[in-house]
């Protein structure tokens, strides 16, 4: 019996041929592969049977969630794709314990909606949340726009169920906030991009849904003032800051060219613009007055006024309505569109220590000017996390590799990371090879060998 | 050349004989061992040379911080103790980036004092903080009384430097809030009790120091009301709750007998007493009025008043002065003393899902009554974390094992953990053997083999 027939015997919902095409192609269209077959198991036991068989026969397996990754981590040439899409049940929401028990195939947006019905939220959101699945967010340790306040996926997960390469089920389905019974296998699995096991279910933390927001665009005299502004805001609001996004002059210039319909409230002509938002679930902050304004908005206005007096803020525009708030968000969310609007393009998803961002931007600009006097950049940063999307347009496509290398040299020298939130997949393998601590790479390979000795799980990804 | 002479050649500050006695004995006096020697290296390179030599010669090595653990994790019969006490430098505090770079031998209290000079704090505190060292808190993923708001050690650590069993240095000294470049080796090392590597330095997060506290003792109609009270407080204060400690009737009765000098403000005669504290760094909460009261205290009073109307609180006493606050803390901090005041004693450091604590306490009491009608308990819980210190006094010492087994059976059945914050060491090895998911145990052994193939690092600990 050939492998397809044997797989079909344990997992009947199997696709081959033309039906696999959509699975073989990532959504940015950069990685197009021909999978051997696509399996869509409905239970953990079925996943276990598939993996046992693939391990026995040496058949490569690529786990897949919503297929919204940016690094080619689900490219599957000649491999079996194991799609978790049918394991999409929210098993339980326990509002008193502030947790959700979900299967890996649950779509992020569906969890948002289910949580909202209890006045709660799962505080992870990003552009692809309408199709991204929880298993994928766990496999990549996804970030998104709430990291500043709530952390990465790792900070939001209490427990996991994982099927190992040989089909054994690893039960880490803890709903506990403290558990010191042995090594942290959960966090090892999170972010391992399907190379150590297949996540089938998880216990996730929920938080109270915010009842009010206060949103502003401000200009600041410099990046060091920006960091002091963030710290002062955190201190004076008790940690309510949910967004603190940095848009320098090059971003605003590109916005003016590519999206002239979006008008920044303080104009385009500033070196350093910050978009910020605070949010609260506290009733005393959230009860609107007769003008429809909430105390939270007054609090932000007063705080920014005080920080203006202290020289940390040059100018500020507060959103006076939901429409103005949406317009400010749109200016930030245009990033993907405007930063790739001019080609050739080198996309860097970098992280720097919070107090090194300014120095990094100076050094990178100097080094790139030396390499390519005609370069331009479009920079936008989750400044509160030190995460910089540093997009470069060289004057000549032949310079792309040299540009990436120059930028990553500086990042490495300053203790930064070449992959902040997107992961490694295939796209960042060269950076892993060149930049990662060699001892760390050796130990990651040893861990891989311990969990997947035959190398059937997502082969060729994550580790060079 | 014998091993002592060879060790002395790479690490001259070596102790043998009577000088090692203090190191061979844990502070509770339960584990008394005779180490081969005590090494006190001053640099990472020296640690590396020691481990390379021990690995080559198959000499067992037990890393040691402040020797304040509760599980015998530093027992060292015939082994070399590697004390980090001389690596006690705070290398850097970077207030703008809210981080500290420390060596493993820094005493927790010293880090508190250094952080306070910048208006910041490292939010980890527990009884032994005057002698516990950072390396030990990392090796055990220490908890303590700030977990509810700030998380365990794992949540507070950005980066690590680790010397591996064979002397290679693993450089994970990241100061980054986002880094998805490969497997999470950092969290694997944290909590591994020195069995996977020796932590020599760390990058730790700092937070703004609170400027005001508001503290209360309240009684509640039941445990389910207590959990709803916690959730309501979190929501209405925006997550300011720093302590939420549960003391049932048996705790208060024991307190009355053992510490009659400590008078609970609401008396001893309640089924369910909660000690709670909120704290803030927000100036508008913290500016005292002419009576010396801060707005935060009024806010807590108003909130508890509203929750009384909602039936979640039966009675409340707010601390009106620092002296009253100290008295309330003393009632909670008497736990260690009063819970071990009557013998025989079975100490359980348990964790349950937040919404299962009530059910657990009912089931445990029923099962123990069946086993031993003459038993008594002294229960106190970090209720906000689900962490229950469940101390049992059986009527006969011969029942101790059966009591522990009965309690752990129920914990396991309800998805709890037999070790919330103290770790495994030697003391909890039987529980690991009996209770831990067997697949998890197998994979932990595989990880151990990958990191320490010759088994020289803290042998016989953590894994049965």
A–B: how many Cβ contacts below 8 A?
285
Distance from CA of A165 to the nearest CA of B (A): 12
B350 vs A: CB within 8 A:
no
Long-range contacts of A74-79 (CB under 8 A, 24+ apart): A74/A26, A74/A31, A74/A425, A75/A26, A75/A31, A75/A33, A75/A425, A75/A426, A75/A461, A76/A23, A76/A24, A76/A33, A76/A35, A76/A36, A77/A33, A77/A34, A77/A35, A78/A33, A78/A34, A78/A35, A78/A36, A79/A35, A79/A36, A79/A459
Flag whether pLDDT at A283 surpasses 90.
no
Judge whether B117 is closer than 8 Å to chain A, CB to CB.
no
Cα–Cα dist B164/B197, whole Å:
5
**Which chain B residues are within 8 Å of A231, Cβ to Cβ?**
96, 98, 208
What pLDDT score was predicted for residue A112?
A: 98
Look-up of token digits 């910020």? A276
State the smallest CA–CA distance between residue B174 and chain A in angstroms: 7
Residue whose entry in the numeric block shows the structure tokens 């940063």: A381
Q: Which residues of chain B have pLDDT under 70?
A: none
What are residue A379's phi and psi, to 5 degrees? -110, 135
Q: Does B177 touch chain A (CB under 8 A)?
A: yes
A214, A300 contact by CB (below 8 A): yes
Of A94, A151, A192, Cβ closest to residue B355? A94
Over the stretch B40-66, which tens digit does the pLDDT of each residue have? 999 999 999 999 999 999 999 999 999
| Residue B48 phi, psi dihedral angles, 5° rounding | -60, -40
Determine whether the interchain pair A439/B239 forms a contact, defined as Cβ–Cβ distance below 8 Å: no
Residues of A in contact with B197 (CB under 8 A): none
What pLDDT is recorded for position A182?
A: 97
Smallest Cβ–Cβ distance between A141 and the set B94, B180, B424 belongs to B180
**Using 50, 70 and 90 to split pLDDT, how confident is the model at A30?**
confident
Whose CA is closest to A55, among A187, A185, A197?
A: A197
Task: Please give the helix or strand (H or E) that residue A445 lies within, else none.
Answer: helix A438-451
Determine the pLDDT at residue B378.
96
Contact flag B236-A386 (C-beta cutoff 8 Å): no
B-chain CB neighbours of A359 within 8 Å are: none
Give chain B's domains with CATH numbers.
3-83 (3.30.43.10), 90-208 (3.30.465.10), 212-335 (3.30.70.2190), 342-438 (3.30.70.2740)
> What pLDDT score does A256 carry?
97
Alpha helices by DSSP H, listed for A384-428, are: 400-413
Residue A377 near residue A390 (C-beta atoms within 8 A)? yes
> Could you tell me if A148 and A244 are in contact, meaning their C-beta atoms sit under 8 angstroms apart?
yes
pLDDT in the model for residue A126? 87
pLDDT (0 to 100) of residue B146:
85
Please enumerate in sequence order all residues whose Cβ is within 8 A of that of B67, keeping only pairs 6 or more positions apart, or say none: B23, B26, B27, B74, B131, B136
Per-residue model confidence as pLDDT tens digits over B119-172: 999 999 988 899 999 999 999 999 987 899 999 999 999 999 999 999 999 999
Contacts of A252 (CB under 8 A, 6+ apart): A264, A268, A269, A270, A273
Residues A120 and B152: their CA atoms lie apart, in Å, by 23
- Judged by CB atoms closer than 8 Å, whether chains meet at A188 and B188 is answered as yes
Closest by Cβ to A170, choosing from B97, B185, B443: B443
Do residues B97 and B175 lie in contact, with contact meaning Cβ atoms separated by under 8 Å? yes
Mutate to test the interface with A, among B71, B100, B182 (most CBs of A within 10 A): B182
Q: What angle do CA A54, A58, A64 make, to 5 degrees?
A: 50
Nearest CA in chain A to B151: A177
For residues B356 and B417, give the distance between their C-alpha atoms in angstroms, rounded to a whole number: 12
* Alpha helix (H) residue ranges in B269-348: 283-286, 295-309, 322-333, 335-339
pLDDT for residue A410 is more than 90: yes
CA distance A124 to chain B (A): 14
State mean pLDDT over A41-59. Answer: 98
Residue found by looking up tokens 């200016």 in the block? A331
* Beta carbons of B417 and A178 less than 8 Å apart: yes
Do residues B197 and B165 touch, judged by C-beta distance below 8 A? yes
The verdict on B353 touching A (C-beta cutoff 8 Å) is yes
Check A351 against B172: CB less than 8 A apart.
no
* A102 closest CA partner among A116, A88, A112: A88
pLDDT at B29 (0 to 100): 82
Strands A346-351 and B157-163: unpaired
Nearest residue, CB atoms, B353 vs list A176, A190, A416 = A176
Residues of A in Cβ contact (< 8 Å) with B176: 351-353, 386, 415-417, 420
* Helical (H) or strand (E) element with B33: none
Pairing between strand B80-83 and B37-39?
A: parallel
CA distance B243 to B149: 8
Q: Which residues of A are less than 8 Å from B238 in CB distance?
A: 238-240, 280-282, 285
Q: Kindly provide the residue ranges of all beta strands, DSSP E only, lying in B327-440, ordered along the sequence.
A: 346-351, 376-382, 387-393
Give the pLDDT of residue A288. 86
Q: Is A125 on the interface with B (CB under 8 A)?
A: no
- Find the CB nearest B182 among A169, A420, A436: A436
User: From B180, which residue of chain A is nearest by alpha-carbon distance?
Assistant: A423
A310 touches chain B (CB under 8 A): no
* Closest CA–CA distance from residue B306 to any residue of chain A (Å): 12
Residues of chain A neighbouring B196 (CB-CB closer than 8 A)? 183
Option in B171, B180, B423 nearest A191 (CB): B180
Q: What digits encode the pLDDT tens for the residues A180-215?
A: 999 999 999 999 999 999 999 999 999 999 999 999
pLDDT score of B267? 96
A352 close contact with B: CB closer than 8 A? yes
Determine what percent of chain A is predicted with pLDDT higher than 90.
92
B85-93, Cβ contacts within 8 angstroms, sequence gap of 24 or more = B85/B40, B85/B133, B86/B13, B86/B40, B86/B41, B86/B42, B87/B41, B87/B42, B87/B43, B87/B44, B87/B47, B87/B135, B87/B200, B87/B201, B88/B133, B90/B114, B91/B201, B93/B118, B93/B120, B93/B206
pLDDT of residue A291: 79
Test A182 with B462 for CB contact under 8 angstroms. Answer: yes
Q: Is the dihedral of CA B350, B355, B356, B358 positive or negative?
A: positive
Instruction: Determine the Cα–Cα distance for residues B244 and B45; give it in Å rounded to an integer.
Output: 44
Interface probe with A: pick from B180, B184, B224, B428, most Cβ of A within 10 Å = B180
CA closest to A223 among chain B residues: B96
Q: Tell if the CB–CB gap between B181 and A234 is shorter than 8 Å.
A: no
The Cα of A197 is separated from the nearest Cα of chain B by a number of Å equal to 12
How many other C-beta atoms are found inside a 10 Å radius of the C-beta of residue B297?
A: 23
Interface check for B420 against chain A (CB to CB < 8 A): the answer is yes
Q: Is B109 on the interface with A (CB under 8 A)?
A: no
Q: Report the pLDDT value the prediction gives residue B70, as an integer from 0 to 100.
A: 86
- The ipTM (two decimal places) reads 0.96
Which band of pLDDT confidence, cut at 50, 70 and 90, is reported for residue A149?
very high
- To the nearest whole Å, the CA of B19 is away from the closest chain A CA by 32
How many Å apart are CA B110 and CA B16, to the nearest integer?
29
Taking an 8 Å cut-off on Cβ atoms, the answer to whether B440 and A168 are in contact is no
Of B282, B420, B440, the CB nearest to A236: B282
Q: Looking at the partner chain, which of B185, B231, B238 has a beta carbon nearest the beta carbon of A443?
A: B185
Using the beta-carbon criterion (under 8 Å), do A224 and B435 form an inter-chain contact? no
């Amino acid at each position: 019996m050939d492998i397809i027939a044997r797989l079909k015997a344990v997992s009947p919902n199997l696709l081959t041929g033309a039906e696999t095409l959509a699975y073989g192609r990532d959504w940015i269209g950069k990685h197009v592969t021909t999978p051997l077959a696509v399996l869509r198991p409905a239970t953990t036991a079925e996943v276990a049977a598939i993996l046992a068989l693939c391990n026995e026969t040496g058949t490569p397996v690529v786990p897949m969630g919503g297929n919204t990754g940016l690094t080619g981590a689900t490219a599957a040439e000649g491999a079996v794709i194991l799609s978790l899409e049918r394991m999409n049940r929210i098993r339980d929401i326990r509002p008193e314990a502030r947790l959700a028990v979900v299967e890996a195939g649950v779509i992020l947006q569906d969890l948002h909606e289910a949580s909202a019905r209890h006045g709660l939220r799962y505080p992870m959101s990003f552009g692809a949340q309408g199709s991204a699945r929880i298993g994928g967010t766990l496999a990549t340790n996804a970030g998104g726009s709430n990291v500043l306040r709530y952390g990465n996926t790792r900070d939001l997960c209490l427990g996991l169920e994982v099927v190992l390469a040989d089909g054994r089920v690893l039960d880490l389905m803890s709903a506990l906030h403290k558990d010191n019974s042995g090594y942290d296998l959960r966090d090892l699995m999170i972010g391992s991009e399907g190379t150590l096991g297949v996540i089938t279910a998880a216990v996730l933390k929920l938080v109270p849904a915010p009842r009010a927001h206060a949103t502003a665009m401000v200009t600041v005299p410099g990046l060091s003032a920006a960091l002091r502004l963030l710290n002062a805001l955190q201190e004076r609001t008790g940690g309510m800051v949910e967004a603190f996004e940095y848009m320098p002059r090059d971003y605003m210039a590109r916005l003016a060219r590519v999206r002239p319909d979006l008008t920044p409230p303080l104009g385009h002509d500033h070196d350093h613009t910050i978009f910020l938002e605070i949010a609260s679930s506290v009733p005393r902050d959230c009860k609107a007055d007769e003008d429809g304004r909430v105390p939270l908005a007054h609090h932000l206005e007063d705080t920014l006024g005080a920080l203006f007096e202290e020289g940390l803020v040059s100018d500020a525009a507060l959103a006076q309505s939901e429409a103005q708030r949406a317009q400010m968000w749109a200016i930030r969310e245009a990033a993907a569109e405007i930063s790739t609007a001019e080609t050739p393009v080198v996309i860097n998803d970098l992280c720097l220590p919070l107090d090194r961002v300014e120095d990094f931007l100076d050094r990178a600009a100097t080094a790139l000017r030396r390499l390519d006097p005609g370069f331009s950049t479009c920079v936008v940063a989750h400044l509160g996390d030190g995460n910089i999307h540093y997009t470069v347009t060289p004057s000549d496509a032949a310079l792309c590799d040299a540009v990436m290398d120059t930028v990553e040299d500086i990042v490495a020298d300053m203790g930064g990371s070449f992959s902040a939130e997107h992961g490694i997949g295939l796209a960042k393998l060269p950076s892993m090879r060149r930049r990662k601590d060699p001892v760390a790479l050796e130990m990651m390979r040893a861990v891989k060998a311990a969990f997947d000795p035959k190398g059937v799980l997502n082969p060729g990804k994550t580790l060079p």
